[in-house]
Amino acid sequence: MATLGPSARYFEEFAPGDEFLTQGRTIGEADNTIWTMFSGDMNPMHVDDEYAREHGLFGGRFPAGLAVVAIASGLQERLGLFNGTGLAMLNQTIDYHKAVLLNDTIRERMIVEECVPSKSRPAGRVTFRYEIIRRNDEVCISGHVTYYLLGKERIET
């Protein structure tokens, strides 16, 4: 039996329309620095304040979009839904709508769109629409993510 976190859910415990909202997290200077060093993304819009103020769209530096998606992924993990039941992430799409700026606080809303059971094992695919939002529920980034989750029911053969 898998070791499960206290909020973990099996495949069968998800249904289309289920909605989850993470806690908030402020994107700070340290996040930008760590992501830039880790990823090697040295785009001057992320690392050179003078250049970004002169040429950028947002009045200064801003974090990379993928850094925001990665931080939102950590917020998903803090929900604990897949802790011990998550077998794999199968797919993720990302659509950028508005920039997330340094010192913005983000949350992620996840809505179950589809649940497809496996035919060969006690598991299934759960597809979520996700929205990374900031103040006033403004959607900055959205997309779909599909997880392969452990089921609790045994397959009858």
Residue 154, pLDDT score? 60
Residue 157, pLDDT score? 45
Rounded (to 5) percent helix, strand, coil in the chain: 25, 35, 40
Its sign, for the CA torsion 81, 87, 88, 92, is negative
Q: Which CATH code, of 3.30.420.40, 3.10.129.10, 3.40.50.300, 1.10.3470.10, is assigned to 11-150?
A: 3.10.129.10
- Residues of the chain under the 50 pLDDT cut: 155, 157
Q: Cα–Cα distance between 133 and 156 in angstroms, integer?
A: 42
Domain ranges of the chain: 11-150
